[in-house]
Structure 1
Amino acid sequence: MDNFIDILKKDTSLLAHVIVILVITLLVYVVFNKLVSKGIKKHMISEDFDATNSRFLQQMVSVLILLIGLSFIIFMIPNLKHIATTILAGAGVIVAVIGFASQQVLSNIISGIMIVITKPYRLKDRISVRAIEGVVEDITLRHTVIKNYENKRIIIPNSVMSSEVIVNANFAEDICCEWVEMNVSYTADIKKAKAIMKDEIIKHPLFIDHRISLNKKNTDDIAPIRVISVGEFAITLRAWTWAANPGDAFLMGCDLLESIKEQFDKEGIEIPYPYSNVVWKNNRE
């Protein structure tokens, strides 16, 4: 290291070249990342644009830019060039040692490449993995960043993501089914309760008709509602509703629970709750 510093002090032109290459490398790195990030954000709204590939390619090219700059600096300095040549001569042993020491890192990189190629999830997809739910914010060479619904970032290694069961709400298509369940009492008019639920569902602005043309001709129900259980204190009704995406489905489900409850109250449909009768006996001797 001391010899390397002495060489730079004696050869000012070499020092100038090293500084120029370093500045150019960093400048190209920064400008490239800013331009690509700006372009990705600009085209993110387009459905045909694949932001996942673009972001991953950006990271790989960024690393390549730094490696090229470093290589120029190494081969410009005689001492470093000699060291680099010696390292390359024993590259087989070094690669084996490095590979053994960094198995997890290499596993994450390879898993990241496979994720980008096979696309089990993409940027902006809503996924669930290991009881973690959120939106994929970034896929780097080493890890996947998920932003949960509390606006927190969860960093998960790519090797973990590639070996886990992932629930992807946006895979293939965004359209989403939302179950809306309500409990009614045994004395309630079930047909009337179903009619109220269907009316509230159909008039909701986020509800979409998911039936295909053939099903419409066969007069299939636009919003089917079924009795799914007869419990200890209530009868459970379930409605199948559809929205354009998981976000709309969640909002629609929340709105419908509120509006259906209000209509049940107006129409005298009881929503029961469990209660217990306590019998107290006073035994006299």
Structure 2
Amino acid sequence: MRMQDMEPVKEITNKLDGWLETLINNLPNIAVALVVLIISYFISRLVFRFTLKLTDKRIKQKSISKLVARFTAVIVVLVGLFLALGALNLGKALTGLLTGAGISGLVVGLALQGTLSNTISGIVLAFRKNLRLGDWIETNGYAGEVVDINLNYFVLREADNNTVVIPNKLIIENPFKNYTLTKKMRVSLECGVGYESDLEKVEQVTKDTIAKHYNQKELGKKVEFYYTEFGASSINYLCRFWIEGESGLDRLKAKSNAIINIKKVYNQEGFNIPFPIRTLQVDSPINIQEAERK
């Protein structure tokens, strides 16, 4: 065999020898890297379980609590991977990996900007103490009971049993009113009485009727009564009182009950609740006959 034909074989043999020597020299580092990866894997499992138990106590949404637990576990694995690469003296590979991860993260973030925004908002909402499942809230023009908070959207059930799905980021970006945080709410009732009525007596009877059915002293409040205007056919007033309630339905029930009881008392006292009256003017028969002749 000619020497020229043997040169490629020698080059391959030399490379294999070099790789084998490098492998043998790096066996301790490889062993350390493998140990680091195995330890990080088991630590990530422990962190996942611990985080899941911790988040389950504060977050009722299973999907969000599992996401948080997985996220912490992935961080532990990534730290182990970076340590293993460092043990193998692969600094350039580690730098390239970080650079590639940064660029990839930027591209994915721009492509999924809306989805990621909703996901992050869902996690933030899950940790909010002033917003829980079962609360009655009003936000973005809708009012209802909070039935679900997941990674993408927020679900409300309105009083008519319709379901409203709202992106999480809209809940974060816009104000909301939570009726459940307070056990008291004020009810406003508007009505009117006839001009012939004794206004002072109307005020006292109305206050007594409301206080009889809704004890204001127990709530630390009082019934408020104000005459507001001279209407077309009545003198109108505004009555405000407090109830124990947490939802819009409680307010509607209290207002309806107050109207029923006030009407009963007004009937007993002879108070008139007038309705609009219109006077129709009809031309006399003489004017009608003259119009027909023309």
Question: TM-score of the superposition, structure 2-length normalised?
Answer: 0.62
SS at match of 1:91: helix
Q: Does 1:112 align with 2:116?
A: no
**How far does residue 185 in structure 1 lie from its aligned partner after superposition?**
1.3
Conserved? CA contact 1:210–1:242, under 8 Å: no
* 2-structure distance, mates of 1:210, 1:227: 26
Structure 1 residues 225 and 123: CA distance shift in structure 2, 3 A: same
Pairs within 5 Å for 1:24-103: 53-56=58-61, 58-63=62-67, 90-103=100-113
Q: Which is higher, the Rg of structure 1 or of structure 2?
A: 2
SS at match of 2:173: coil
Which residue of structure 2 aligns with residue 262 of structure 1?
Answer: 264
Ranges of 4+ aligned residues in structure 1 off by more than 6 Å: 65-69, 85-89
Which residue of structure 2 aligns with residue 236 of structure 1?
Answer: 236
More helix by share: 2
**Does 59-68 or 100-109 show the bigger shift?**
59-68
**How far does residue 211 in structure 1 lie from its aligned partner after superposition?**
7.0
Q: Does 1:151 align with 2:153?
A: no
* 2-structure distance, mates of 1:120, 1:231: 43
Which residue of structure 2 aligns with residue 79 of structure 1?
Answer: none
**How far does residue 275 in structure 1 lie from its aligned partner after superposition?**
2.2
* 2-structure distance, mates of 1:170, 1:224: 24
Q: Deviations over 1:185-220 (max 9, x none)?
A: 11122122222211211111x4432775xxxxxxxx
* 1-structure distance, mates of 2:226, 2:219: 17
Aligned residue pairs, count:
220
Conserved? CA contact 1:233–1:272, under 8 Å: yes
Unaligned runs of 5+ in 1: 1-24, 41-50, 73-84, 213-220
Q: Deviations over 1:235-254 (max 9, x none)?
A: 12222211122444432221
**How far does residue 262 in structure 1 lie from its aligned partner after superposition?**
1.6
Q: Does 1:187 align with 2:196?
A: yes
Which residue of structure 2 aligns with residue 76 of structure 1?
Answer: none
**How far does residue 54 in structure 1 lie from its aligned partner after superposition?**
1.9
Identical counterparts, % of pairs: 25
Which residue of structure 1 aligns with residue 14 of structure 2?
Answer: none
Which residue of structure 1 aligns with residue 82 of structure 2?
Answer: none
Which residue of structure 2 aligns with residue 124 of structure 1?
Answer: 134
Pairs within 5 Å for 1:196-235: 196-204=205-213, 206-209=214-217, 222-235=222-235
* 2-structure distance, mates of 1:242, 1:135: 22
Which residue of structure 2 aligns with residue 280 of structure 1?
Answer: 282
* 2-structure distance, mates of 1:156, 1:111: 12
Conserved? CA contact 1:55–1:139, under 8 Å: no
**How far does residue 87 in structure 1 lie from its aligned partner after superposition?**
8.7
Which residue of structure 1 aligns with residue 185 of structure 2?
Answer: 176
Structure 1 residues 90 and 140: CA distance shift in structure 2, 3 A: same
* 2-structure distance, mates of 1:126, 1:115: 15
SS at match of 2:116: helix
Conserved? CA contact 1:209–1:242, under 8 Å: no
SS at match of 2:277: coil
Conserved? CA contact 1:125–1:170, under 8 Å: yes
* 1-structure distance, mates of 2:98, 2:110: 18
